Amino acid sequence: MPRAVVLDLFDTLVRGADEERDRVVAEMGAMVGVEPAALVAAYHATWRDRLVRWDVEETVRILAGRLGGTPPDDVVARAGSLRRALARRVLDSVPPTTLDTLDALRAAGHRLALVSNATSETAEAWPQSRLARRLDAAIFSCELGVAKPDRAIYLAAAGRLGVAPGDCVFVGDGSDGELAGAAALGMTVLRTTEHNDTDPTWDGPVIASLTELPALLRTPAPI
């Protein structure tokens, strides 16, 4: 049976766009009446809460409140719409070669799952993305309530695919300790440097492009 493949999202399937995120949050700060740089710093400082607890509007209200702002609901909604638009842009930026690779993997019989540390606006935008119809399952930290490298998020992906973790290949850039988390469950781990050389200390196989993956999985003694 072809091996299941579990994929990270940011800096694996799409570029992370961190600088654009900061620009958008700064614009949101001006919109809700707080210091833009302070809101950017607050977003960075609360990344774990945003990944597993707060939706877009909660984030705006909570962080603006901490910075002395009291934006009305309509302004909160407008600020949230900027983050939602960014999420759609990031998902739409997926390279055509990545889509072709996912199509090739599925044609070869591999079941595919996404495991992403992502805030709610990405999960909301996902079903309309070109990526969504190419994967059999998508597990988002904001929906599950836990984030990589927690074992539960990997187990959820394997469970949705109907396979044991040891029958999965995990592909990611290495952010948030994701590679070690996958390896601890017996997944075969591949680090990708296509969009970002995130974890150069990882001692394991590395691919420079996702396009290398189908051939690797076809080898007689796969990775």
The C-alpha atoms of residue 25 and residue 128 are separated, in whole angstroms, by 23
pLDDT at 223 over 80: no
Q: What percent of the chain has pLDDT over 90?
A: 96
The pLDDT of residue 2: 75
pLDDT at 1 over 80: no
**What's the whole-number mean pLDDT along residues 37-45?**
98
Where residue 101 falls (left for φ over 0; alpha for ψ -120 to 50; beta otherwise) is alpha
pLDDT at 193 over 90: yes
Q: Are 206 and 191 in contact (CB under 8 A)?
A: yes
pTM score, whole prediction? 0.95
How far from 91 is each of 82, 191, 193, 197, 199, CA to CA, in Å? Answer: 15, 21, 19, 20, 23
pLDDT at 222 over 90: no
The C-alpha atoms of residue 170 and residue 90 are separated, in whole angstroms, by 22
Question: Which comes out higher in pLDDT, residue 160 or 219?
Answer: 160
Sign of CA dihedral 70, 73, 75, 81: positive
